[in-house]
């Protein structure tokens, strides 16, 4: 019975986690949110200045790649209507690139027409930079400029080394890449209840839904000394699975980050 499926611990940033929890519960799967990445608007003067400049230069880019739904949300804030992106597209045929369906949904919600968005097919084996490049590579030639909008942490954040890999492909095709931080990512600050939940979920058969290698590192740092040999993880990318294994998770399974496949994988773990 679905009601007996193992509890899912959703570790995405708070805004995304809330929707995943609601959708999993609607399917009959027990789920709760324990965000392992904290998201904030950029606050340092240098990052704010760079973000403002990137917004003003939109018409000069052949494409703008958004690494996530958060990148969309914080780039198109209340001070920059989505119409500005539309103006850029009209002037220079600027495209919006998305690595997966969550980012596509955020772009649509922001008001961007579907015909201006490029992304891997819904049935792609993975939703990442490599899959995206297979779709958009023909767009880039000598002199083309691409803006990558991401979080203000390390270059490998939110997608491992994929963003750097994508920039190398663009450069090899003759294009140039600019990076801009639309938001800041950081480690969560667990309260007592969250710490208790995490420690219990490390041993009670809960399934940790992991969608970022960075999140795995934050979890290990938040619970120093915790043994993860009894913990079960469901990772949405091979790089994330490797991070979970390195952290000591006793059971690590992989699936695509599409909701139906994640839910089916959780149910399958219960059956086995």
Residue 143: CB atoms within 10 Å: 9
Handedness of CA 221, 223, 227, 231 (dihedral sign): negative
List the domain boundaries for the chain: 2-34+190-271, 40-186
Report domain 40-186's class: alpha beta
Contact of 94 with 224, CB cutoff 8 Å: no
pLDDT of residue 157: 39
Distance CA 137, CA 126 (A): 17
Residues 2-34+190-271, CATH architecture = 3-Layer(aba) Sandwich (3.40)
Buried b (16+ CB within 10 A) or exposed e, 46-85: ebeebbeebbeebeebbbbbbbbbbbbbbbbeeeeebeeb
pLDDT of residue 86: 56
Distance CA 40, CA 37 (A): 10
Distance CA 111, CA 74 (A): 14
Which residues touch 49 (CB under 8 Å, ≥6 apart)?
Answer: none
CA–CA distance from 41 to each of 106, 150, 151, 207 (Å)? 17, 12, 9, 30
User: Rounded to the nearest 5°, which phi and psi values hold at 179?
Assistant: -110, 145
pLDDT of residue 153: 59
Using 70 as the pLDDT threshold, list the residues of the chain that sit under it: 1-5, 78-92, 153-162, 270-272
CA angle 259, 262, 266 (to 5 degrees): 140
> pTM of the full predicted structure?
0.76
pLDDT of residue 162: 56
pLDDT of residue 92: 54
SS3 30: coil
pLDDT of residue 27: 92
């Amino acid at each position: 019975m679905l009601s007996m499926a193992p509890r899912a611990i959703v570790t995405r940033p708070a805004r995304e986690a809330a929707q995943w929890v609601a959708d999993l519960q609607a399917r009959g799967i027990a789920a709760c949110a324990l965000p392992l990445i904290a998201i904030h608007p950029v606050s340092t003067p240098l990052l704010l200045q760079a973000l403002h400049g990137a917004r003003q230069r939109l018409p000069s880019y052949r494409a703008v790649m958004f690494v996530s739904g958060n990148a969309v949300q914080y780039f198109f804030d209340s001070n920059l209507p989505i119409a500005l992106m539309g103006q850029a597209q009209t002037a220079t045929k600027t495209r919006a690139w998305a690595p997966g369906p969550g980012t596509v949904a955020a772009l649509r919600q922001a008001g961007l027409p579907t015909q201006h968005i490029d992304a891997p097919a819904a049935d792609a084996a993975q939703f990442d930079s490599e899959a995206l490049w297979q779709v958009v590579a023909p767009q880039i030639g000598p002199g083309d400029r691409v803006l990558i909008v991401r979080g203000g942490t390390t270059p490998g954040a939110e997608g491992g080394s994929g963003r750097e890999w994508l920039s190398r492909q663009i450069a090899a095709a003759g294009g140039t890449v600019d990076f801009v931080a639309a938001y800041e990512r950081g480690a969560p600050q667990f309260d007592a209840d969250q710490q208790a939940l995490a420690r219990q979920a490390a041993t009670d058969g809960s399934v940790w839904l992991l969608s970022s290698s960075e999140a795995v590192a934050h979890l290990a740092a938040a619970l120093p000394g915790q043994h993860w040999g009894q913990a079960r993880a469901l990772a949405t990318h091979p790089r994330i699975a490797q991070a979970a294994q390195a952290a000591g998770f006793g059971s690590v399974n992989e699936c695509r980050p599409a909701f139906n496949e994640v839910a089916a994988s959780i149910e399958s773990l219960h059956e086995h």
